[in-house]
Amino acid sequence: MSACPNCGAAREASHRFCPNCGARLDAQRELKQVTVLLADLCGSTEQVVRTDAEGGQAYLDEALRLMSEAVNAYGGTQVQWRGDELLALFGAPVAQEDHALRACLAAIAMAEAMKAQSSAQAPMAVRIGIDSGEVIAGPGSGHLATSYRVDGAPVHLASRLEKLAPPASTYISGNTLQLLHGQLETRALGPFNLRGFDAPVDIHELVGSLQDSAAGPLARRRFLAPLVGRAQALADLMQLAEGVRRTGLRAV
């Protein structure tokens, strides 16, 4: 028995699809258009050090629960925990045409949940970085702690943005902003020179709240992500549509 990389449900080795969520289980690593979210719990070391062991564990458990719930609520996949830092993926292993929007909504939900739970004795806040683009994703190798692996520039850029962001804020790249189509409120911060990237990176901050902008855009799903590597398929569809138009036949 092993676990589904998408939902964590138990499955047999012979299963090609998860019996719980339907995700394909025998897929190889492949190119995917996704949005990567990296979230770091701010000040956790200081909080754990100034409390006893049980209090520190309770604090971390609550913070990690809030982070996980925000990702799960918008269909994201928790790929890896690095101490008190979460790497989450939207758009794979389950394809989502609105993966950028989902990731940003999860970030807003995470920040709001932390703010609501925070207190003077146990302050909670996360800094978040988000980038969208092409990655190689698929089952992880046996020596990895996670059963799903993602590699590509968006992982590294999201990490740079997360480290640049102040506590209780979310920085997104211009790549992600383009996929939002104005559905969420942002504030332009300008181009930044980031280590490892040849060209300046356009950075924006997510502003606003779930009450202002979250419920409607995700439910409407009006905007589709661009198709990648489907030129021949689109050409075939256009040829078929033109044939139907010329002959006057109704498409079935």
Q: What is the mean pLDDT of residues 61-84?
A: 90
Is 3 within a domain?
no
Q: What is the mean pLDDT of residues 93-120?
A: 91
pLDDT band at 144 (very low <50, low <70, confident <90, very high): very low
Domain count, the chain: 1
Pairing of strands 169-173, 126-139: parallel
Q: Tell which residue, 106, 113, 149, has the closest CA to residue 128.
A: 106
pTM: 0.74
* Residue range 185-218, pLDDT digits in tens: 999 999 999 999 999 999 999 998 887 765 444 5
Is 15 within a domain?
no
- Neighbour-count burial for 28-64, b at 16+ CB within 10 Å, e otherwise: ebeebbbbbbbbbbbebeebbeeeeeeebeebbeebb
Cα–Cα distance, 214 to 211 (Å, whole number): 6
Is 89 within a domain?
yes
Q: Is 25 left (phi over 0), alpha (psi -120 to 50) or beta?
A: alpha
Cα–Cα distance, 176 to 15 (Å, whole number): 35
Is 128 within a domain?
yes
Is 178 within a domain?
yes
Domain with 52, as residue range(s), is 28-247
Cα–Cα distance, 217 to 220 (Å, whole number): 5
Is 80 within a domain?
yes
**Two tokens at 77?**
């996949």
Is 146 within a domain?
yes
The torsion defined by the Cα of 74, 184, 86 and 116, in degrees rounded to 10, comes to -90
Q: Is 145 helix (H, G, I), strand (E, B) or coil?
A: coil
Is 206 within a domain?
yes
- Position with higher pLDDT, 121 vs 155: 155
pLDDT at 30: 86
Residue 36, domain CATH: 3.30.70.1230
Q: Tell which residue, 84, 86, 85, has the closest CA to residue 76.
A: 86
pLDDT band at 143 (very low <50, low <70, confident <90, very high): very low
* Residue range 8-65, pLDDT digits in tens: 888 787 777 888 887 766 656 789 999 999 999 988 888 888 888 888 888 888 999 9
